Amino acid sequence: MELEVAASVALAVLIVAYGFIFGVLKRVNEWIYVSRLGEKRASLPPGDMGWPLVGKMWSFLRAFRSGDPDSFLSTFISRFGATGIYKTYMFGSPSIIVCKPETCRRVLTDDQNFKLGYPKAVKVLTGRRSFHSISNAEHKRLRRLTAAPITGSEALSMYVPGIEENIVASLEEWSNSDQPVEFLTGMKKVTFKIITNIFFGLDQVDFNFKTMEILYGDLARGMKSAPINFPGFTFHRGVKARRELVKILQAIVDERKALKGRNGSITRKNMLDMLMEVEDEDKRKLEEEDIIDILLMYLLAGHETSAHGTMWAALYLHEHPDILQKAKEEQEEIIRRRPATQSGLTLKEIRQSQYLTRVVDETLRRISLSFAVF
């Protein structure tokens, strides 16, 4: 009996001590980051700065990897009300979370008072010359230079046949499989193959897709982690993955430059060729470091967002069979009007797909391709 009482008392003491230490450490953490703001701290929104050094990252990652990622924000809403703006500490920095459409719109459209503020993990892993790390002026310059070869009718018309070929081959492979296909995983493989073909050409490079997929998986997870560069931590694996990816991309750039040097000019150009040739109004070309970091970023963002967007479109169409039927009928009508000699999709047919275009636009309106913008 005395042992039971002693054990109960010890447990109660431990709980109280834990609660006290937890409360003190959280108050210390908040004091460290909030007190330095002086008078400005009075205008801070409500929130929770979490533990010293890690802040609320553990809670965020636990929610992000669970079946209910919205639970992270739900805890803020239940504790502090539906204000739509909260203070916290994440990704190695004191942060303000904004999650109401009106406030987000103001932040995203006010370039004078807001600038990019990506976490250290993202800046390190995407590179010194990626869009996440450069000044606003340089960001606009690089976007202008890189958008020209990537977007527009001429660029799209070049890539339609390769995109269609990859999609058809993958759908046929899935339909002939006797095993279930995890759709998002499958689409990531498809979109990664498509975007590497667009950037490097169909036959120009011997690509180990499996290795690249693993490396990009480690890189993506590292960008959503605390920047602790020590063996065993997610960020450390991301740093190693970046190092390997840069080697692979550098070898491809060197090979392409050597090919151009031998041949003088290349008739069948891919996206890499265009990035190497594009010039700004002062006749300045992109530096090699710019090209490597841009390739790294576009290959990651391009296949991840495309796969997620396709997944959501498929889910919404499954939930709305009437809309799926209308979109299907439009495509069947377009195919019926094709000349007998035509074997594949054309840019003209894409432009004729008015209803399907609205389906895509509505999908993009409803979803978030990225979990956050900094």
User: What pLDDT digit, counting tens, does each position of 205-237 carry?
Assistant: 456 777 888 898 899 889 888 888 999 999 999
User: What pLDDT, in 10s, does the model give residues 336-366?
Assistant: 999 989 888 998 999 999 999 999 999 999 9
CB neighbours (10 Å) of residue 155? 15
List the domains of the chain with CATH numbers: 2-114 (no CATH), 136-300 (1.10.630.10), 320-369 (no CATH)
Dihedral in degrees, nearest 10, Cα atoms 96, 98, 104, 106: -50
User: What pLDDT, in 10s, does the model give residues 24-44?
Assistant: 666 777 777 777 777 777 789
Which of residues 372 and 188 earns the better pLDDT score? 188
Mean pLDDT, residues 50-79: 87
